[in-house]
Amino acid sequence: MTGVMEDSVIFGEIATAGGRRFGRVTLNGPATLNALTLEMIDRMAPRFEAWAADPSVVGIVLDGAGEKAFCAGGDVAALYRAIRAEKPGDVPALAEAFFEREYRLDYRIHTFAKPVLCWGHGIVMGGGIGLLAGASHRVVTHRSRLAMPEIGIGLYPDVGGSWFLNRMPGRLGEFLALTGAPLNAADARFAGLADFTVPHEEKACVLEAIAGTDWSNGPDANAAQLSRLLAGFESPMAPEASPLRRHFDLIDQTIGHDTLAETVARLQALADHADPWLAAAASSIAKGSPTSLALAHEVLRRTRDMSLAEVFRLEYQLSVGCCTQHDFAEGVRALLIDKDRTPKWQPATLQGVTPALIAEHFKARYAGAHPLADLG
């Protein structure tokens, strides 16, 4: 394999037995758990485009440097600084650029015509799940921990979360959106966020097997070949190792079909559940932004029948809108900047979240055509 380091991303190519190549992209910020920056996005996007157009490149491997994380999410600390540099209510230029280009890259991975193997080892959260979710071959390991914990920072599950959460079994998607509950490898498989469970220790062997395979010119044949290759390294977890599967019926009954306030009350009642995983998930609601709870619930409702491109367009509006309101900056401040973990949400209760406040978050804040109008 050849490679060249370009700051926070390493690009390489894997030469294979038949002369064709796999591209390789490695997020290279282990000190920040490979948090996704605009610079990283802007380096990756043109490389994906070049490999898409190159007939000698038959697939891509996407992974993260270090042993702790594939990607712990987007660089929200940079967004916080950009928000604080603006007048209250103004849209930071960084927010417009970051969300447009992040979602454009996520969409590119979802629709990429060649196999994309994403190695989701360790921590995979927020923007990391955005990269993982669209890959054709999503690998988790026994040390993978996935989550969409955005309610804790005054945001909501974006990066296509409105798409893949709505497509999970039963009402698991809304449960995860409202609680930010962490998932292990078995959970990720059950929820449809992963396709293969491979021990992390086998990663080098997987890459060697890719190099030793004679790949064809056909994307479908190569996708099937890659599936067979990964299946040969699988070490599945037992179904009972998934708390998400174990509590599926209870979660379905708890989320229900009624109002968000009634759903939240039932979820909070599970804080005393005997299973520590479920109790912790239920307890997290009380710590999250009430506005984020309402936004997560509303965006899932609005996007239920939308196409993937339409989802990303609506999420762009909502994410930019969050940057003009109070809770997102306050949540990042409390968690990552001052680290006091005592955010002062406004409003402080779900009852105080008005329809007008929710509508303000969804308002379009761009002139002319939508920045993602060309998707789809």
Which residue out of 13, 63, 75, 150 is catalytically annotated? 150
Which residue out of 74, 128, 154, 161 is catalytically annotated? 74
Q: Is 127 a catalytic residue?
A: yes
DSSP secondary structure letters along 52-121: HH-TTEEEEEEEESSSSEEE--B-HHHHHHHHHTSPTTPPPHHHHHHHHHHHHHHHHHHT-SS-EEEEE-
Alpha helices in the chain (DSSP H): 38-53, 76-84, 93-110, 127-133, 161-164, 172-179, 185-191, 203-211, 219-231, 243-246, 248-255, 260-268, 276-287, 290-302, 308-322, 326-332, 355-362
Q: Is 212 a catalytic residue?
A: no
Which residue out of 75, 102, 106, 158 is catalytically annotated? 158
Q: What's the rounded Cα separation, in Å, for the pair 130 and 127?
A: 5
Q: Residue-wise over 286-306: b if at least 16 C-beta within 10 A, else e? A: eebbbbbbbbbbbbbeebeee
Which residue out of 126, 127, 154, 321 is catalytically annotated? 127
Say what angle helices 172-179 and 248-255 make with each other, to 10 degrees. Answer: 80
Phi, psi (degrees; rounded to nearest 5) at 18: -90, 5
Which of the 8 DSSP states describes residue 212?
A: T
Beta-strand pair 145-147/123-125: parallel
Q: Is 106 a catalytic residue?
A: no
Q: What's the rounded Cα separation, in Å, for the pair 188 and 157?
A: 16
Catalytic residues: 74, 127, 150, 158
